[in-house]
Chain A
Amino acid sequence: MGNAPIAVKHCLNYGALMGDSPWMPWLLQEKKGPDIHKFPDFVKIVEVGPRDGLQNEKEMVPTEVKIQLIDMLSQTGLSVIEATSFVSSKWVAQMADHTEVLRGINKLPHVRYPVLTPNLQGFQAAVEAGASEVAVFGSASETFSKRNINCSIEESMRRFEQVITAAKQAGIPVRGYVSCTLGCPYEGDIQPAQVKKVVKRLLELGCYEVSLGDTTGAGTAGSMAAMLRAVTTEVPVHALAVHCHDTYGQALANILTALQMGVSVVDSSVAGLGGCPYAKGAGGNVSTEDVVYMLHGLGIETGVDLSKVIEAGEFICQALNRPTSSKVAQATNKSKPSLSRSD
């Protein structure tokens, strides 16, 4: 063994140690990490089309259309549908009808309809309009935070603390979002340790789940794995969700990687609604249809009826007068087996 590095010798000794001393385990604390070769049996899909999707579409959509979209999505088996955002209408005109939408939708008993509440004012308006779950939106990048919501990460956390405290008192669960976890349009690379810091803070403040967003879509399977590895050293994987953007076509590969690392909550947007504000004309949110197709193909249950999601996607694309960004929808729409010769 002479020339092998000390580390290797230790590894070999460790194995020998455990082998020779079968009484060892009951003395020690056995830590079982997540089994990364198995996929989860069930994945919860968080549908963000009506909020994150529509918010990033240029076409203004009338309230009735938003309500009908959400009602159609409620029939698909999705258990979480982000309905709207209680943000000031002067910042996000698309969400001006937030109260009307929340009051107008047909809330099914087994479906949750979280809404975004960037501050206490928004939270209070949301509760009055009947919200029973809210979400707050932080960033792993200081520059992005300052440019997007005009304050530092720390200041935003203080605002969220107010919302979360009020929500706790009202018995309302809060979901956290962290943007720029795999890269920032201004700062470029983001350190996984920084992401971990922000995620921990949100969980400590009281969020029940934190959704890790690849805001620019620049992340790859490699950077997703590195980020999750760092975050899960101090955060339980069951409290994490991934929110991948398909701007560089990497979303499904990134989601697959996240699933292999134990994540079992995935955000997606029907018809891939919501372009990327940082790359004009490029794609944004990953489409729910494509995600569900992959999950079902893997034998993972979602409770979602894919054909009904495709229908909801067709409806909103007609209303927006735009083609779907979902490849599954494109393929199934025009699919008539052609009997013409191929190669």
Chain B
Amino acid sequence: LRPPLIRRWFSSFLNWKISLMQHHCRLSQRIFTASVSLSTTKPLPERVKIVEVGPRDGLQNEKTIVPAEVKIRLIDMLSEAGLPVIEATSFVSPKWVPQMADQEEVMRGIQRKPGVNYPVLTPNLKGYRAAVTAGAKEVAIFGAASELFSKKNINCSVEESLQRFEEVMKAAKQEGIPVRGYISCVLGCPYEGKVSPVKVAEVAKRLYSMGCYEISLGDTIGVGTPGGMAEMLEAVKKEVPIHALAVHCHDTYGQALANILVALQNGVSVVDSSVAGLGGCPYAQGASGNVATEDVIYMLNGLGIHTGVDLPKLMDAGSYICRSLNRRTSSKVAQATCKL
């Protein structure tokens, strides 16, 4: 029975009061959000750890064989650029991967910057022993989320491949050496096609329970898109805590930065990348592979996310290795800044 005039007055008074409160709410949101939010319920991490895989994953997939001194100089320049983790080499048999034949020389030759980790790949116990003898303080093992990929690549099932790593895990645990796990084909397989997020979660859980401190989820053929990335992370998060997950995106279809952005929005704060985008894709001849560290850092800087990386020094390292390889950089940031 309220007369219309009073109702109108009351309504506009309340509107004014509520808008004042909303204004204060918005202000307080800004006070409590440290880094840029793209949405109000998915804040981005304040800091992201970059795992630089150029010297290993990158060079391993480059045709030109690069001498040990060049590899050592590259790693030293990357250390100067402020990268916290630099995958140095792989203790794999040289007859399989000739690029990594100088593994010991590289390991002993690099200048270890305090606070920087230099993990190495160890495909088996023999490689692990050689790595530790050469001074490695962190190692990495790998599995696949696709059975067919595992069979075609290393001639055994995923479970069998993980069992082979049990000995490495045991030795590493005894000697207090942290182990990182890699999973390939998390967003698609060159043989199986679509890969189930549940399978990825299973393999991630296995690696985590075996003792890996971090699991790097690799979009091996770069076919993933942001939707698939979100779906896969949703499944994996149920089995492995988010702080132990990293993304290793390939830029073969140009989707890497968009996929990384979505991963960050879903709580991931560790990103693998390769200086100058070294390392083509072995499944699509001539196509690109690893995402370029320069381009990732550029995006993270623009989002106000702290990485500790000095972009100009990183670009110096990138142009150095490209000159040595006699190839053009795959980093768009490097291409753009060089010619300005």
Name the contact of A338 in the complex, choosing from B251, B282, B304 (C-beta under 8 A). B282
CA distance A199 to B285 in the complex (A): 44
Contact with A along B216-235 (1 / 0, CB 8 A): 00001010111110000000
- Asked if B332 contacts A246 (CB within 8 A), the reply is yes
Proximity string of chain B (4-30) to chain A, C-beta cutoff 8 Å, 1 when within and 0 when not? 000100110011001011101101100
B57 to chain A, nearest CB (A): 7
Contact with A along B249-260 (1 / 0, CB 8 A): 001111101101
Interface segment, one of B33-41, B76-84, B167-175: B33-41
A339 to B14 CA separation, bound complex (whole angstroms):
69
Q: Which of B7, B60, B254 contacts A293 (CB 8 A)?
A: B254
The residue from A256, A279, A338 contacting B336, defined by CB atoms under 8 A apart: A279
Cβ–Cβ contact A257 & B38, under 8 A: yes
Q: Does A55 contact B (CB under 8 A)?
A: no
Give Cα A260–Cα B281 distance, bound, in whole angstroms.
30
**How many B residues have CB within 8 A of the partner chain?**
75
Of B112-120, B124-132, B201-209, B294-302, the stretch lying at the interface with chain A is B294-302
Closest residue on chain B to residue A290 by CB atoms: B254
Q: Report yes or no: B298 in contact with A299, Cβ–Cβ below 8 A.
A: no
Residue of A27, A252, A293, A297 touching B257 (CB-CB under 8 A)? A252
The interface stretch among A115-123, A173-181, A327-335 is A327-335
A278 to B335, alpha carbons, bound, how many Å? 12
Binds B, one of A5-13, A58-66, A148-156, A157-165: A5-13
- Confirm or deny: B152 has a beta carbon within 8 angstroms of a beta carbon on chain A: yes
Known interface pairs A27-B7, A222-B302; A260-B287 also in contact (CB < 8 Å): no
Which chain A residue lies CB-closest to B25? A11
Q: Are A248 and B285 in contact (CB under 8 A)?
A: no
Is B213 an interface residue when CB atoms closer than 8 A count as contact? no
With a CB–CB cut-off of 8 A, which chain A residues contact B331? Answer: 249
Provide the residues of chain B in CB contact with A256, threshold 8 Å.
226, 258, 261-262
Query: Which chain A positions have C-beta within 8 A of B260?
Result: 253
Q: Is B312 an interface residue (CB 8 A)?
A: no
Of B36, B61, B225, the most chain A CB neighbours within 10 A belong to B225
Asked if A249 and B226 make an inter-chain contact with CB atoms under 8 angstroms apart, the answer reads no
Chain B residues with Cβ below 8 Å from A339 are 152
A111 at interface, CB cutoff 8 A: no
Q: Report the stretch among A71-79, A90-98, A133-141, A213-221 that lies at the interface.
A: A213-221
Residue in contact with A281 in the complex, picked from B97, B184, B292, B339, CB distance below 8 Å: B339
> Within 8 Å CB of A296, what residues of B?
225
Most chain A beta-carbon contacts within 10 A, residue among B258, B261, B340: B258
Known: A6-B24, A297-B227. 11 other contacts (CB 8 A): A7-B28, A17-B21, A247-B336, A252-B257, A256-B261, A257-B261, A276-B336, A297-B226, A327-B287, A335-B284, A335-B287
* 3 closest Cβ pairs, A-B complex: A220-B302, A297-B225, A249-B332
